[in-house]
Chain A
Amino acid sequence: MSYKIPMGPYHPALEEPYKLDMICEGERVSDAKLHIGFNFRGIEHLAETRNYIQVIALMERVCGICSNIHTLTLCQAMEQLTGQEPPPRALYIRVVMAELERLHSHVLWAGIAAKLMGFKTMFMTCFEIREKVMDVLQAISGNRVNYSMNRIGGVNRDIDDPLAVLAMVEQLEREMVRTVIPIFTTSTTARMRCAGIGVLTHEKAISCGVVGPAARASGVPQDLRRAAPYAAYSELEFDVPVEKDGDVRARLLVRALEIMESCRILRQALAKMPSGEFHTGEGKIVFSTGTATSRVEAPRGEVMYSVSWKENSRNPSRVHVRTPTFANMPAIRWMVIGARLADTPLIQASIDPCYSCTDR
């Protein structure tokens, strides 16, 4: 006989409010249903009432983890509408911020995954290392979470001394190589808890249209930094880690390898940073009528913004956001079917869901 177990919306294992209804046969999950919308703040509507400076501050608060990515995507779309071309130094600073954010997001995810595995020591270690990433972010922007770095036509703050930041990044990389990466890739605890659960096959990954690390862990070599380079990614060398297995361990490995690739990108970007201006100046910004879209590879996958504007208007007429979790959500159902009930918190966390982005 099957029975239904509701998990959430306010549940200690969940960071954010959402509801997972699981139909169980004994210990096994036979079907699952996801309910979202508890975080709906109506941001897309609010954006239509804000001018082009306020809308950046508003969109930064779509998500507290990947706040920089949202303003980066929005500013790229608005730059297409205004014809403002950011100078090369601004593009490199954007890459540095995006990669630092990827680092802190992946380490945060690793900490939460470790907590869900019941590996509390690792959770504390991950957060200790994450604080060092936050130090670098704070040294650059002055803030820990909402950096407010992006503006139309560049960035708000310069990196005065890239070599000092480079030293901090190298220190960070050494710590990652010493603790987080070996524990997640070789530890028996992590392997036994993650291997073979929450499998998303290659075919299913393509048919669900998953993005980001969840897709790359199912053998879909898809990364916008490679496929449609933005900012300064076309001038930097990096690999896109891909795993074939599609289970939670593969997603863990992809993220661990991405942490290393992020460090590699950071080292190159800080060493190669061109001199010059970092924004286009304080001139008047004139919007042309039209719709511009922009796509960026966020830590969780592809973020797309579509911004519509009417000429001589202060406010956008429409800002549409498509977040990676929106694309990855349907895959949770296929991951948890057949899984043990005790594994479901870890499986649903393995796509690194961010429902505050998705609900907006």
Chain B
Amino acid sequence: MNLWNRLMCYSRRRSPWLFHMNGGSCNGCDIELIASLTPRYDAEQLGVRLEGSPRHADILCITGPITHNAVNPIKTVYDQVCGPKAVVAIGSCPATTNVFIDSRTLAGPLNLHIPVDVFVPGCPPRPDAIIQGVAKAAEILAERAAKKLPVEPVVMPLVGPGCGGACGCTAADKSGAKEAQP
């Protein structure tokens, strides 16, 4: 790897730009994501910035249990994010659909539709946990830029209904599921 590529990997790790998408969330995680960017928690010290356009973003942050209305927009936005990219699922909802399990208007969990790199569990997760998840995603992004990982994340197989690999089961581990522990 030449100097230019090494510099690019370093920059990617130090300045991940986020695009936030609400897939039917209750606003709890969305507000905590914004709170993690504001002075008390100050994720901006990691170079994190909330970006208005998916085409400028590196990390896609998705909240909510993924309603049927949100599936196609999420796929579109995922395709619009330029590679290398990483996906962070914030909260328990995108991982398992949380208390809304069995609802017929939901198409979750999120990893049925797009590949997810980091799950940040919690209802809602604390801003510290969200920052940790984003930092982890930034590392994955840098590895992906260095071609150590495939450019596109790998879709994880589902084990059991609604498991989503978020429970840390072995089949998901083999396919490279990563989980943030708050």
Contacts and interface: CB of A to CB of B under 8 A. Distances in A.
Interface of A: 9-10, 12, 15-17, 37-43, 45-46, 49, 57-58, 61-65, 67, 108, 123-124, 127-128, 130-131, 134, 144-146, 354, 356
B105 A40 contact: yes
B2 to A, nearest CB: 36
Contacts of B77: 10
Nearest to B26: A64
B84 interface: no
Contacts, number: 113
10 contacts: A10-B73, A15-B30, A17-B69, A40-B69, A58-B99, A64-B30, A64-B124, A123-B38, A131-B38, A356-B25
A64 B25 contact: yes
Contacts of A64: 25-31, 124
A128 B32 contact: no
Given A61-B98, A63-B27, A127-B35, 20 more contacts: A9-B69, A10-B21, A10-B73, A12-B53, A15-B27, A15-B30, A17-B24, A17-B69, A17-B70, A38-B24, A38-B69, A39-B24, A42-B104, A46-B102, A65-B28, A131-B39, A134-B35, A145-B32, A145-B124, A146-B28
Contact of B103 (A42, A62, A123, A354): A42
A49 B101 CA distance: 11
A9 B98 CA distance: 24
Contacts of B53: 12
Q: In terms of DSSP, what is the predominant structure of the interface of chain A?
A: loop
Contacts of A144: 32, 124, 126
B27 A65 contact: yes
Interface residues of B, number: 36
Contacts of A49: 102
Given A10-B73, A16-B30, A17-B22, A146 B124 contact: yes
B82 interface: no
A267 to B, nearest CB: 25
A61 B99 contact: yes
3 smallest CB-CB distances across A and B, nearest first, come from A64-B28, A12-B52, A127-B38
Contacts of B148: none
Interface string B17-50: 0000110111111111011001110000000000
Contact of A145 (B31, B65, B73, B99): B31
A62 B26 contact: yes
Given A16-B30, A67-B28, A131 B106 contact: no
Contacts of B111: none
Nearest to B126: A144
Contacts of B31: 64-65, 108, 145
B67 interface: yes
A37 B69 CA distance: 8
A49 to B, nearest CB: 7
Nearest to A126: B38
B22 A15 contact: yes
Interface in B51-88: 52-53, 64-65, 67, 69-70, 73, 77
A146 B122 CA distance: 11
B73 A42 contact: no
A243 to B, nearest CB: 27
B22 A145 contact: no
B124 to A, nearest CB: 5
Contacts of B40: 127-128, 131
Interface in B86-132: 98-100, 102-106, 123-124, 126
A116 B106 CA distance: 31
A172 B40 CA distance: 15
A45 B103 contact: yes
